Amino acid sequence: MPVVKKKLPKDSGIIISLMKEIGITEFELKAVNQLLEFAYRYVTDILEDARLYSVHAEKSVVTVADIKLAIQSRSEKMSPELPPRNLLMDIAYDINSEPMPLIRQNNGLRLPPERFSLITANQRNKRRRHY
C-alpha cells in the first residue's frame, strides 16, 4: 500500500513558511499547533477589543481605527514602558546612600517558642500496664 501523506491545513502551511523564512528548519508539528492557537487567540482578542471600542463609540461597524487602537492597547499591556535609566539610577543612589542596619549580636537561627513548634508533642500517652 502506498503511504498517504497528511495534507496540512492552509494556516499550518503559512506558519511553517514563516518559520522557514526566519531560519527555523527543524521543529515539531506541536510547535506549529501552539503557534496557530496563539495566533487565533491573539486575533480573536484584538477583534473583540475592537468591537468593544466600536460599541463604546456608538458606531455600527468596526473600523480600522478601532483595530489599531486595540492592537496599541494590547501591546502596551504586554510590554509596559520602563522608566528612564537616569531616574532608576537616582532612586538607586538615594536608597544606597543610607547605611544598612547593624547586625544584632544574637544572630543565628531563631526559633519560635516551643509551644508554637510543629515538632513538639501535642498529646500525652497513657502508660499501659502489662499483666
Segments making up each domain of the chain, as ranges: 10-96
Please tell me the predicted confidence (pLDDT) of residue 67. 94
Please tell me the predicted confidence (pLDDT) of residue 83. 84
Burial class (CB in 10 A: 0-12, 13-18, 19+), 70: buried
The answer to whether the beta carbons of residues 49 and 73 sit under 8 Å apart is: yes
Tens of pLDDT, residues 118-131: 777 766 666 666 65
Tens of pLDDT, residues 1-57: 444 456 778 888 999 999 999 999 898 989 999 999 999 999 999 999 999 999 999
Q: What are phi and psi of 112, to 5 degrees?
A: -70, 165
CATH topology of domain 10-96: Histone, subunit A (1.10.20)
Per-residue pLDDT, averaged over 90-115, amounts to: 81
Q: In 3-state terms, what secondary structure has residue 34?
A: helix
